[in-house]
Amino acid sequence: MSSFFAQVLDILIVLLGDPFSAKTWQVIFQFIPFVLFFEVPVYLLVTLGILKYGLIRMSEKYTQDRNFPPVSCIITCYSEGEGVKRTIQTLAEQFYPGLIQIIAVIDGAAQNQKTYEAAKSMENVVSRIPKRSLLVLPKWKRGGRVSSLNAGLAVARGDIVMALDGDTSFDNNMVERATRHFEDPDVACVAGSLKVRNIRKSLVTRLQAIEYFFSIQASKTGLSAFNMVNNISGAFGVFRKDVLKAVMGWSTGSAEDLDLTLRIKNYFGRYKNMKIVFDPEAVGLTDVPETFRDFFRQRLRWDGDLSYIYFRKHWMSFNPRLVGWKNFIALLWTGLLFQIVMPFAITGYLTYLAVAFPVSFALGIMALVYLFYLSVTAFFFIIFVLVLSERPWQDMKLFPWIVFMPLFSMINRVHNAFSTLWEIFGKAHQDTSMAPWWVIKRREKTDET
């Protein structure tokens, strides 16, 4: 075994020492199109957007003359138990001079007495804080996340509505940071920045923390600078109530966050100045899966939901007349190409290496690719932390774990391709913990008619 790895190392040294050999270029030319045509344009766009954000943020001046509209925070709760107390408390203790209505919707309250009782126990705590109120809304029969959000929307009194998960806590300036954007009448929604709360639990939580930093905090900041935010997270979205009413709230089914984002974007073609903003300073902290098994089970649903939304439910949204040209291109590039086509391209590339070359040579090439992605990831991580992070020292503690990110990302991409196939042929979106099966079935019948 040691001699085999020594052989792989020798091949890597030869490839690095003689990068212009015909055999090396034969394989590299198979790899370059992924980077050059799929990834580089997205990385450049995101980097330019982050630099634009940084320049605007440095010149921004805080004003005390701004409005502080009443805010309704809808917390969707299912089985959080005592954990929901932290979510309620972090909302009640916000540094925000306006009114905050906290609505804790307990789905399936008959089976989730612990969560219901934990939320009820916070009523006295919240009532003692000026301009704060807590409404615990039990749904005794389970109806799913979407029905909880719409139930909360029905009793929301605020001009601004936040859709939040029951296992997410928030920085104490989150509401102030998120609502400031609504001073601009063209802003319809704000996507909040999610970070990993249980970072130290395991290797996979650390890797997800790095992934969240790149895919949410960095990527969405860059896309937001050009009004091309790809998705408003279901765990942390902020909306004008009038916009939610106009699109008739959330739609039952799967991937309700992307579904709502696309339905709002369908107005972009008619209202040219309409905006969805991402704010990296409006921070929420959430728990992520702590084992690789749970992680891949979660991504099976997430990636399958993406295919369901794009191919089954919202294929008509790929129309520049509806979403505008910028977001049409963004949907094609960062949606179809980057998130669906590229996983299959990577899987095909790995299969090609395994079939066409000796194992030792294929691993040597993979080691070269690994070093490339490791260098790129480390470089951009440092730049993005310096420009974006509100916790730079905490985030920089993740830097040593970047050594695992190229492998983690590659495995995740291959799993993404499998999840897409599972959705296409097996309708995986029907197997979800976000709603009972009868709710999913009923919505599918509605979509078909």
The CA distances from residue 130 to 96, 97, 162, in Å, are 11, 9, 20
Q: For residues 415-449, b (16+ Cβ closer than 10 Å) or e, as one string?
A: bbbbbbebbeeeebbbebebbbeebbeebbeeeee
pLDDT value of residue 104: 95
pTM of the model as a whole: 0.88
pLDDT value of residue 69: 95
Parse the chain into domains and list their residue ranges.
2-52+328-448, 64-302
| Strand order through the sheet with 168-170 | 132-139, 100-107, 71-77, 160-165, 236-240, 187-196, 275-286, 168-170
Percent of the chain with pLDDT over 90: 52
Long-range CB pairs of 384-390, under 8 A, 24+ apart, other chains included: 384/50, 384/213, 384/214, 384/217, 384/218, 385/213, 387/50, 387/51, 387/53, 387/54, 388/50, 388/53, 388/54, 388/217, 388/218, 388/221, 388/280, 389/213, 389/217, 390/171, 390/280, 390/281, 390/283
pLDDT tens-digit readout, 164-207: 998 899 999 999 999 999 999 999 999 999 999 999 999 999 99
pLDDT over 80 at 74, yes or no: yes
pLDDT tier for residue 351 given thresholds of 50, 70 and 90: confident
pLDDT tens-digit readout, 123-160: 999 999 999 999 999 988 888 888 899 999 999 999 99
pLDDT over 60 at 30, yes or no: no
Q: Nearest to residue 127, comparing CAs of 100, 163, 158, 162?
A: 100
Sign of CA dihedral 193, 194, 195, 197: positive
Q: Where are the beta strands (DSSP E) in 85-220?
A: 100-107, 132-139, 160-165, 168-170, 187-196
Residues 6+ apart with CB under 8 A from 381: 210, 213, 214, 398, 399, 402
pLDDT value of residue 1: 44
pLDDT value of residue 445: 54
Q: Is CATH 3.90.550.10 correct for 64-302?
A: yes
Q: Nearest to residue 1, comparing CAs of 363, 376, 368?
A: 363
Least confident of 95-99, 275-279, 358-362: 358-362
pLDDT value of residue 334: 84
pLDDT value of residue 247: 92
pLDDT over 80 at 17, yes or no: no
Structural tokens at position 55: 């320049």
pLDDT tens-digit readout, 363-403: 777 887 888 889 889 999 998 998 888 888 889 999 999 99
pLDDT value of residue 19: 55
Is-contact 377 406, C-beta < 8 A? yes
pLDDT value of residue 183: 93
Per-residue pLDDT averaged across 213-224, rounded? 94
pLDDT value of residue 340: 87
